[in-house]
Amino acid sequence: MLRAACSAHCLDLLIALHDVAKQQLLVGYAGPPKLVPDFLQHVNPGNMRLVLPNDGTEPIGNRIVELPENEAAAVARDPRSGFIAYAPPGSIAKGQALVATGGGETTACVVCHGPALKGVGATPAIVGRHTGYIVRQLYFFQNGSRSGPAGALMHGVVQRLTIDDMAAIAAYVASREP
């Protein structure tokens, strides 16, 4: 389990990684129930994923699923409510390798974000960030939605990352203490 703090502003649905690969961002999805993918069937009216009824389970596949540590606090939009991120087996180890070395796919994150991932100069800290935030930012850098000086720099860095790579990086970064 990963524990990632989340403010009231990031109480949204986590990106379903296989759907991101199809370029469908489902964050805050509010479409008709018949169009909601199976894994999003149990959400409350505020589009927050909650624990399945009767302690039900579902396969995690290649996605990260986040659930509130305290459902009542999260539904009430308490900014101190935490979340638990469930990641596919092996994600943290794979993410650690990508962050530390680049894994032959990218520049190691530690080069710009520092050895503790707490940021260097104008480069922001990424350690302990919310998994959904990390995946979204990497994806937006990759597809060009994120622009500006940081966007231009990161665009080249993330070009060869797969959605699974992004999930692994997010799992590792979120698992570290800020």
State which amino acid sits at residue 147.
Answer: S
- CB within 8 A of 31, min separation 6: which ones? none
pTM: 0.70
Alpha carbons 66 and 59: distance in angstroms, whole number: 13
pLDDT tens readout for residues 66-108: 888 888 888 888 888 888 888 888 999 999 999 999 999 899 9
pLDDT tens readout for residues 33-69: 333 334 444 445 456 666 777 777 777 788 888 888 8
The answer to whether the beta carbons of residues 54 and 80 sit under 8 Å apart is: no
Domains, the chain, in order of start with CATH, read 2-86 (no CATH), 91-175 (1.10.760.10)
Q: Which residue has the tokens 């990497």?
A: 138
CA atoms within 13 A on the CB side of 135: 35
Mean pLDDT over the full length of the chain: 75
The answer to whether the beta carbons of residues 47 and 12 sit under 8 Å apart is: yes
